[in-house]
Amino acid sequence: MLRPANQRSMPATDLAHSLRPRHVALISLGGIIGAGLFVGSSAAIHMAGPSVLVSYALSGLLVFLIMRMLGEMAVARPGIGTFAEYAGLGLGPWAAFLTGWLYWYFWVIVVGVETIAGATLLQHWIAAPVWSIGLVLIVAMTATNLLSVRTYGEFEFWFASLKVAAIAAFIVIGLGFLLFFGPGPASAAHQMTEHGGFFAKGWIGPVTAIPVVIFSMMGSEVATIAAAETQDPARNVTRAARTVSLRVLAFYVASIAIIVSVEPWDSVVPGDSPFTRTLQAIGIPGAATLMSVIAVTAVLSCLNSGLYITSRMLHELARRGDAPALFAATSARRVPRLGILFGTAAGLLAALASVVSPNGVFLFLINTSGAMILFIYMIVALAQIRFRQNVEAAGEQLQLRMWLFPWLSYGVIGGVAAVLVLMAVTPGLSVQLALSALSVAVALAALWLRRAFSRRRVLKARAAS
CB contact burial 300-313 (16+ within 10 A = b; e otherwise)? bbbbbbbbbbbbbb
Listing DSSP states for 307-346 in one string gives HHHHHHHHHHHHHHTSS-GGGG-B-TTSS-HHHHHHHHHH
CA distance 424 to 433: 6
Count CB atoms within 10 A of the CB of residue 266: 13
Sign of CA dihedral 190, 191, 197, 203: negative
pLDDT block averages, 10 residues each, the chain of length 465:
39 69 78 77 92 91 88 83 87 95 94 89 89 94 94 90 90 92 84 89 86 80 78 75 70 92 91 89 89 87 90 93 93 93 96 91 88 92 96 91 95 94 87 94 95 86 78
Q: What is the pTM of this model?
A: 0.90
CA distance 337 to 326: 10
Of the candidates 425, 25, 51, which has an alpha carbon nearest to the alpha carbon of residue 213? 51
At 427 the pLDDT is 81
Distances (CA, A) of 260 to 37, 41, 304, 435: 14, 11, 31, 34
Sign of CA dihedral 220, 225, 229, 232: positive
322-328 long-range contacts, CB within 8 A, separation 24+: 322/96, 322/97, 322/100, 322/101, 322/450, 325/5, 328/5
Of the candidates 90, 73, 87, which has an alpha carbon nearest to the alpha carbon of residue 386? 90
At 80 the pLDDT is 76
**Contact at 8 Å (CB) between 30 and 305?**
yes
Distances (CA, A) of 409 to 84, 120, 379: 18, 41, 12
At 244 the pLDDT is 65
What count of Cα atoms within 13 Å lies in the side-chain half-sphere of residue 185? 1
At 359 the pLDDT is 87
CA distance 333 to 294: 31
Q: Which residues pair with 330 in a beta bridge?
A: 3
